[in-house]
Amino acid sequence: MNANDFNTSAALKQTTQNSSLSKRELHLIGLAVTLTKACEDCSSRRYTEALQSGISKKELLDLTDFIALTSAGVTIRKALNSWNEEENSKICEDDICSVK
């Protein structure tokens, strides 16, 4: 299969229809992914669909807080690990992320 043959929407629908996860779980996981990937349009749609499916605004706010805290924790851990010179053997060798 090449990239042109892959239809993301069709694959998502097929996966969702055959999933053993509940609709609620699918809504929450989907929202977690779109928020983590910072897709504003998809997150907005997923919030609306989650509310329409019966998930409360409080639950969605709790989910959002949890995602934000988890993402912050990952960022902090990554920063702390990269500052550890004794264990850090990976050094960026190009100018892509350099400030010059």
Entry pTM: 0.66
Find the angle CA(51)-CA(15)-CA(12) to the nearest 5 degrees: 65
The CATH classification number of 23-72 equals 1.20.1290.10
The answer on pLDDT for 2 being more than 60 is no
Tens digits of residue pLDDT in 76-91: 988 887 777 666 566 6
Provide the b/e sequence for 61-92 (b: ≥16 CB within 10 Å): eebeeebeeeeeeeeeeeeeeeeeeeeeeeee
Binning pLDDT at 50, 70 and 90, where does residue 1 land? very low
Domain ranges of the chain: 23-72
Tens digits of residue pLDDT in 8-21: 778 777 777 778 99
